[in-house]
Structure 1
Amino acid sequence: MSKLVLVGAGHAHMTIMDNIPAIRAKGHDVVVIGPGERHYYSGMGPGMLGGDYKPQDISFPVKRACEQAGATFLVDKCVSVRPDENIVVLESGTEIPYDVASFNTGSSIVDDVVRPGSEDIYTVKPIENLLKGRERVLSLARRDHVRIAVIGGGPAGVEVAGNAWACGQEAGGNVSVTLFHGRNFMSKAPEGVRRRCRETLLRQGVELVGNAYVTAVETRRITLETGERHSADVIFIAMGVRPRPLFAPSGIPAGPDGGLLVNKYLQSPAYPNIFGGGDCIWFEPRPLDKVGVYAVRENPVLHHNVLAQLEGTPLQEFDPGGDYLLIYNTGGRTGVLHKYGIIFGGKPAFWIKDHIDSAFMKAFKPEYERTGRYA
């Protein structure tokens, strides 16, 4: 019996995990490795911080679902790969052999500015950190005014700042929020998107601090490159993402950002039995933004290609597609939408995002989570 190993239980592996029974019926064993029993959908993470969603609303019970489908699920973390031996090495020391492996290990937040040992500092990935930050804000706000700082001027910083404000409103308004956005604010977004996001945050009372980068973050203190210092009780880090340093140290070709180098088949050019999707890859034909839409689009191709590799049938090319819809959750059930040059904000933008995200969750959640009934 050949073995398929899925390293990561994220968005790009959803279709494969949904088809585990059919894969096993063809005579293939399936092992899934994930850091937790549930996988959180990052697109709804800021809404969880702001109180729009509960943890179970934005997460998949991946361990339970995979095990009920007949796969082996290991709560662990891949720390290296021995590609010439077809072995994945886990943090626990366990070594897992594979015939075909697919990686969907996501990305981690750039947090180089955080001093070791600091407290009350939360990177926005893993998404569970936003829940921890929310609980900390609500706990502190029961006793005193809470100063929240968000570090990062991109979409994640904007979404976390707006939803930190919403969390503060839930706490009785006993919260102030400051967004430190360096020298740029939403620099990759169109001007209309930048303007609407800025206006929304200012209307909410979020203070915007720019024109200087943050160089150090420690417990209750933020230092700018100018030497200027600011105080905060709770600090969120949203400074951008990068793949974990897994592939190049394992001798597997990687892209400029350290992500797994893959060809048009989402396949390693050097190791044809290794595939990948989502934030952890570098797509050789052209760089892709680190957005969830590509992981979702990669789903059917990864499913087809890992099975094709196992069975010796032709692979399918991945077409990233054209423009995609972007909606930012700016807190307080408001948002900013952008596609094909159409830009608008407010509650209608949030309603559209909520509808799309909720439909995505419903499509991939097992029957027992959707209805409370067991088959």
Structure 2
Amino acid sequence: MAKHLVLAGGGHAHMEILANLGEFIKLGWRVTGIGPSDYHYYSGMGPGMLGTTYEPDDIRFATRAQVEAQGGTFVRDTIVAVDPQKRCLELASGAQVEYDLVSFNTGSSIRRPEITGDQEKIYTVKPIERLYEAREAISSQADLHPIRVAVIGGGPAGAEISGNLRELLAGSSCPAEVILYAGRRFMGRFPEAVRQKSRRLLGRAGVKIVENGYLQRIDDMHLVFDGTGGEAVDFILLATGVHPSSFFETAGMAVGRDGGLLVNRFLQHVDYPEVFGGGDCISFQERELDKVGVYAVRENPVLLHNLKAIIQGQPLQAFDPGGDYLLIFNLGQGQGVLRKRWLNMSGRLAFKVKDWIDRKFIERFK
């Protein structure tokens, strides 16, 4: 029987592999893609979808169609466990998938606080599809009665989500309040210029930024911070820290400090040479990398090369993360904040640069 390559997840780091899947089949390998949806949503455009700048079809890749069109098999399911000794993946359905070679790009999940009571109006910003669900629910209610929407998280995700919520609610029939609960310091790990430009744009849009502590729990849609409070809201969007899937650590595989699959400079697991990975689900042994899409995109050609190289017995290529990267936040209503080394700028031009880059990326792999 032909050997089996499994692509676990259809994320940003697998785009090049998915586009060139036929090459592996020509080498005599079976190829299976596994993912929770027939589509993969580009996270960089997720906040814009929430704010109605984009529609779902504008920001997603048809993963199943791409795999099957090239002769591969696609399984719509979620990986819940891995057995590296048996080279086997266990899926939520109970099915098991054996592999000879596997690449993980299973992304990350949002950390959730303790929650009691109804959770119907609580949304995590990942998976990205949840933002469209939030958009539909919030916009429908905003035309019926005044609403208060809370965004939890003081980093870039929280900033982008809150700004695009203001865009979503700009035309609502009833008053709507958007409150960004930003921990103790809004955008705390960024230069002061970036923080101030972001704060100014959000304030101008009508976002209220609160820096009075960290969310401890949610009791029946009441927010409790550091053991005090109980502020009632109508909708909650969680944009707090992300973490990789726990199944790597549960399986006894070497992981990084954040629980991500520990890979060497070839994006290959440090103990299992038949295991590769990219994106948010890995921890890069050479140095810690931010959980940003730019690294997943840079990992694309290296993963494609190394999977083919290990099949053909050729030398592997090292991944170079590169230096400082371009960072642009979409803060809604056509406004953005851009940072690259010494350059900091905000306004419509920053958003237009981001929009152009994002659309070119989508166009390249659709």
Equivalent residue runs for 1:177-256 within 5 Å: 177-256=178-257
CA 1:94–1:53 in structure 2 vs 1: closer, same or farther (change >3 Å)? same
1:67 shift after superposition:
0.6
C-alpha separation in 1, matches of 2:114 and 2:165: 21
Letter in 2 for 1:145: P
* Structure 2 gap segments, 5+ residues each: none
Residue 233 of structure 1 aligns with an amino acid whose one-letter code is D
Residue type of the alignment partner of 2:103: S
Letter matched to residue 329 of structure 1: N
Structure 1 portions without partners, runs of 5+: 366-375
Question: Which residue identity does 1:211 align to in structure 2?
Answer: N
Secondary structure of the structure 1 residue equivalent to 2:247: coil
Native 8 Å contact 1:76 1:91 kept in 2: yes
Describe the superposition over 1:255-274 as per-residue Cα deviations: whole angstroms up to 9, x where unpaired.
Answer: 11110000000001110000
Superposed CA offset, 1:252-311 (max 9, x none) = 111111100000000011100000000000000000000000000000000011111222
Aligned to 1:160: 161
1:197: how far off?
0.6
Report the TM-score when normalising by structure 1.
Answer: 0.95
Partner in structure 1 of residue 273 of structure 2: 272
Cα distance in 1 for residues equivalent to 2:117 and 2:290: 30
Q: Does the CA contact (< 8 Å) of 2:216 and 2:227 recur in 1?
A: no
Matched residue SS, 1:343: strand
The SS at the match of 2:170 is: helix
Shift of 1:340: 1.5
Aligned residue-pair number = 365
DSSP-derived class of the 1:56 partner: helix
Q: Secondary structure at the match of 1:44?
A: helix
Distance 1:137 1:186 in 2: 25
Conserved in 1, the CA contact under 8 Å of 2:144 and 2:174? no
2:40 alignment partner AA: H
Query: Aligned partner of 1:270: which letter?
Result: D
Give aligned-pair identity as a percent.
48
**Letter of the structure 1 residue corresponding to residue 129 of structure 2:** E
Asked if the contact 2:117–2:220 (Cα under 8 Å) also holds between the matched residues in 1, the reply is: no
- Greater shift, 170-179 or 40-49, is seen at 170-179
- SS of 2:228's equivalent in the other structure is coil
* Residue equivalent to 1:141: 142
- Is residue 2:34 matched to residue 1:23? no
Amino acid at match of 2:145: D
What whole-Å deviation, never above 9, does each CA across 1:218-259 have from its counterpart, x for those lacking one? 443111115122111111001111101010101211111110
SS at match of 1:149: strand
Secondary structure at 1:228's aligned position in 2? strand
**Are 2:115 and 1:103 equivalent residues in the alignment?**
no
Secondary structure of residue in 1 paired with 2:276: strand
Q: Which 10-residue stretch deviates more, 210-219 or 352-361?
A: 210-219
Aligned partner letter, 1:47: G
Question: 1:174 is matched with which residue?
Answer: 175
Q: For 1:114, what is the secondary structure of its paired residue?
A: strand
Match of 1:373 in 2: none
The aligned residue for residue 370 of structure 1 is none
SS at match of 1:265: coil
Query: C-alpha distance in 1, partners of 2:94/2:253?
Result: 20
Deviations along 1:151-190, one digit per CA (max 9) or x if unpaired, are 0100000000001111111324631100111111101111
